[in-house]
Amino acid sequence: MRRRIVAGNWKMNGSRDLSEELVGYVRSEAGSLDNGVEVVIIPPAIYIGNVLDQAQGVVSVGVQNVGQWQSGAYTGEVSPEMAKDAGCRYVLVGHSERRQIFGETDELVAEKVSLVVSSGLVAIVCVGETLEERESGQAESVVAHQVRSGLAFVPKGQWHNVVVAYEPVWAIGTGKTATAGDAQDMHSAIRGVLKDMGAPAEEISLLYGGSVKADNAAALFSEPDIDGGLIGGASLVAKEFMSICRSFPAAT
Ligand code: 13P
């Protein structure tokens, strides 16, 4: 079912103290949200246990990456089954930092997505164009290709375990955000691609990410095809993160 989701991707930031203080605060506030937003925290894997202790089922928890296998001699990797066993509900797949810094390809993203959704976890599949691609008019075709290839192996009955996050690379950590109108246009195009693929497009949550802050979230979240946000820097500041979660109007 299409849900409102605000997820905080801590990237390689955080500590035991942040896990206690920030997640404790978010938990105490999230219980009283009246807008139906599901709040998700995605810390570095080593702090999953600390975050889960504080989340107490009120806040959902995810991992930032998984390997493409379920177990074995893959030093340094964590599998979807392990993430699930630990208590996670979400897995980020194909974040642009994984694609650009760690060389993750569309094929690898597709393999991971298939394993994640088949494990019963929700894959938040990240897509987005670079500045050069946007400036040369290719943004929509690049994103459409990432959606088609990244979701190529989703089994028919598993679309409820898929969320797509549109994160234009040029907007990540730069303070530049897409206008609400441009983000809406891309979300609508993504929904069109999902429909073409035979997915239940209207049921799939589409998140926007890239310099989302308390002062621009409400405009983004008022667009019809933007179902939430994937927040980087602002998710490390408890009050700012909660104020983003409150930026949706009350549920009708
Ligand atoms: P910022 O919100 O820091 O731009 O990061 C966005 C992001 O990459 C979330 O995954």
pLDDT band at 251 (very low <50, low <70, confident <90, very high): confident
> CA-CA distance, 246 to 214, in Å (whole number)?
9
- 24: domain CATH number? 3.20.20.70
Closest ligand 1 atom to Cα of 230: 9
Has residue 2 been placed in a domain? no
> What is the per-residue pLDDT across 191-250, written as a single tens digit (0 to 9) for each?
999 999 999 999 999 999 999 999 999 999 999 999 999 999 999 999 999 999 999 988
Compute the mean pLDDT over every residue in the chain, rounded to the nearest whole number.
96
Cα of 158 to ligand 1 centre, how many Å? 27
22/178: higher pLDDT: 22
Has residue 251 been placed in a domain? no
Has residue 1 been placed in a domain? no
Range of the domain at 119: 7-245
The DSSP bridge pattern shows strands 60-63 and 162-166 to be unpaired
Please choose, from the candidates 110, 53, 122, the residue with its C-alpha nearest in 3D space to the C-alpha of residue 83. 122
CA-proximal residue: ligand 1, atom 1 (nearest): 232
> What is the per-residue pLDDT across 87-140, written as a single tens digit (0 to 9) for each?
999 999 999 999 999 999 999 999 999 999 999 999 999 999 999 999 999 999
Has residue 250 been placed in a domain? no
Q: State which amino acid sits at residue 67.
A: G
Has residue 160 been placed in a domain? yes
For a substitution probing ligand 1, which of 41, 163, 212, 220 has the most ligand atoms within 8 Å of its CB? 212
Cα of 46 to ligand 1 centre, how many Å? 20
Has residue 32 been placed in a domain? yes
Q: For position 21, what pLDDT does the model report?
A: 97
Q: How many domains in the chain?
A: 1
